Amino acid sequence: MAEILLVDDQKSIRTTLKITLKRVGYQVEEASCGEEALRLLERKTYDLVITDLKMEKVDGIKVLQKVKEISQQTEVIVITAYGTVDSAVQAMKIGAYDYIAKPFEPEEIVLVVDKALERKTLTERVKLLEEQVRERYKFENIVGNSPKMLDILKLVTQVCQTDSTVLILGESGTGKELIAQTIHNNSPRKDKPFVIVNCSALPEGLQDSEFFGHIKGAFTGAIKNRKGLFEEAHQGTIFLDEIGEISPAIQVKLLRFLQSGEIRRIGDNKSFHVDVRLIAATNKDLQQAIQEKTFREDLFYRLNVIPIKLPALRERKDDIPLLVNHFLEKYRNKMHKPIRSISREAVDLLVKYDWPGNVRELENVVERAVALATGEIILPEDLPRHIQGLEQTFPSTPSKPSGKLISLAENEKNYIMEVLQQCGGNKKKTAHILQISKSTLWRKLKEYGLQER
Ligand SMILES: Nc1ncnc2c1ncn2[C@@H]1O[C@H](COP(=O)(O)OP(=O)(O)OP(=O)(O)O)[C@@H](O)[C@H]1O
Ligand SMILES: [Mg+2]
């Protein structure tokens, strides 16, 4: 039953309204002045407030403001004296649902109240639905229904809300970066920076300054103060990919950051606090690195607060058909190709294959198949030869004379030729599949004397 607060300094009006509203089934409480209304509003939330505009000291506008401040969802109807429509309009601008001018028939107010409450219910339902949709699509990019993936999704949901350090482990292409990004996107830090650092791409000598910054004159070449990546990530998340590759000196500094939340720019004599959530990833066996004394054990324990171990694709083959459809959809739209589906035999081949490059390799294979397919259905012949089971190993070398080993260049030449052929001579498509630029393709074609074919 909806609860209504009635605010008016005229007792007669309160009484008539109360009787009318109670008769149609609403629960009604009264306040005889603005101050009393504010006190009641502090104590409980009403579904609807009906307030007179003109009252001593605390007027209807103040009551309205208070209501909206406490609960956006509560609807407000204001009552105005004849000829003061201006203030009613003002009230509606700050969020009143409607106004009623005095004198009014009690029936009139019932109608407005019904409508206001109806809107309230609808708004709430929409909000709920939106939340449910968001919930369901939260991890829309992560495909997987296998028990292993479901466990991971559950864990991801849990860690999103915390600031704990997460260590993501898994072979290359298993989705480590995807998981890190998902955690950030669903955390309270989502509107702040997500800084990705590929530790293996940073030369050892530069790591320190990249991570922590430096001050002017700290070393030759340090011509001005420079922020490090940790500062860039302030209030957000830093993702340290390939964490196994950081130098021993940086390991010490990272450990200090994890212990104190503080960092120090090179050349600076004082540390300062940064608010950064750390997610690290590696495909290396860190335990072994610890044995070999290349990775600090104390740092490992600080990082390993919440480990997320991503399974290799071959350990969750049930997910392959789902992933195939996901990528099919993605590339069909991207390349605007009228592909409807993939044949049963082709899916079987994909499920049978071992996927050393995991999801990334599967994604590439589907992309290539979409590019090559000439019909509406992807067929086994649209898959790479080694997946069709025609060859033992990649790369494909169609014209390899049997038994004779050939050079890398020869192999590359053959493969370019094969792709070019399968693309019907389309160089743009060929370059795309080979993942090289068109100019690189041109250069190679010239190099191998293939231009004219
Ligand atoms: N469960 C999944 N659902 C959908 N796409 C996925 C899934 N896992 C991975 N991918 C996709 O596969 C590709 C590789 O994933 P990602 O880059 O996250 O892997 P990685 O573990 O970081 O690999 P590497 O160790 O080589 O850096 C990305 O395009 C990613 O979107
Ligand atoms: Mg990665």
Find where tokens 């690195």 sit. 289
CA of 262 to the centre of ligand 1 (A): 32
CA of 173 to the centre of ligand 1 (A): 5
Structural domains in the chain?
A: 3-133 (3.40.50.2300), 147-311 (3.40.50.300), 315-394 (1.10.8.60), 395-453 (1.10.10.60)
Pocket probe mutation, ligand 1, options 155, 360, 364, 367, max atoms within 8 Å of Cβ:
360
* Cβ-proximal residues to 214 (8 Å cutoff; 6+ apart), any chain: 222, 225, 226, 228, 265, 266, 267, 268
Q: How confident is the prediction along the chain (453 residues), in pLDDT tens digits per residue?
A: 899 999 999 999 999 999 999 999 999 999 999 999 999 998 888 999 999 999 989 999 999 999 998 888 899 999 988 667 788 888 999 899 999 988 888 888 999 999 999 998 888 888 877 766 555 445 878 999 888 998 899 899 999 999 999 999 999 999 999 999 999 999 999 999 999 999 988 888 888 999 999 999 988 888 999 999 999 999 999 999 999 999 999 999 999 999 999 999 999 999 999 999 999 999 999 999 999 999 999 999 999 999 999 999 999 999 999 999 999 999 999 999 989 899 999 999 999 999 999 999 999 999 999 999 988 999 999 999 989 987 654 444 444 444 567 788 888 888 888 888 777 778 888 888 888 888 888 888 888 877 754
Cα dihedral: 113, 44, 6, 92 (round 10)? -60
Q: Is 435 helix (H, G, I), strand (E, B) or coil?
A: coil
CA of 178 to the centre of ligand 1 (A): 6
CA-to-CA separations, 348 to 123, 174, 184, 376, 389, in angstroms, rounded: 48, 21, 35, 18, 12
| Atom number of ligand 1 nearest to Cα 170 | 21
What does the pLDDT read at residue 297? 96
CA-to-CA separations, 354 to 40, 102, 393, 453, in angstroms, rounded: 67, 79, 12, 35
Q: What is the chain's Cα-based Rg?
A: 33
| Atom number of ligand 1 nearest to Cα 363 | 12
> Following DSSP, what letter does each residue of 252-311 receive, concatenated?
HHHHHHHHHSEE--BT-S--EE---EEEEEESS-HHHHHHTTSS-HHHHHHHTTEEEEPP
- Tell me the residue ranges of DSSP E strands in 69-165: 75-80, 98-101
| Atom number of ligand 1 nearest to Cα 326 | 4
Pocket probe mutation, ligand 1, options 149, 359, 364, 365, max atoms within 8 Å of Cβ:
359
| Atom number of ligand 1 nearest to Cα 179 | 18
Residues with CB under 6 A from ligand 1: 141-144, 170, 172-178, 283, 326, 359-360, 363
Maximal CA-CA distance, the chain:
106
CA of 278 to the centre of ligand 1 (A): 19
The pTM of this model reads 0.62
Contact assessment for residue 265 and residue 213, using Cβ atoms and an 8 Å cutoff: yes
| Atom number of ligand 1 nearest to Cα 359 | 12
Determine the Cα–Cα distance for residues 200 and 130; give it in Å rounded to an integer. Answer: 41
CA-to-CA separations, 154 to 31, 147, 206, 288, in angstroms, rounded: 49, 11, 38, 29
What does the pLDDT read at residue 251? 96
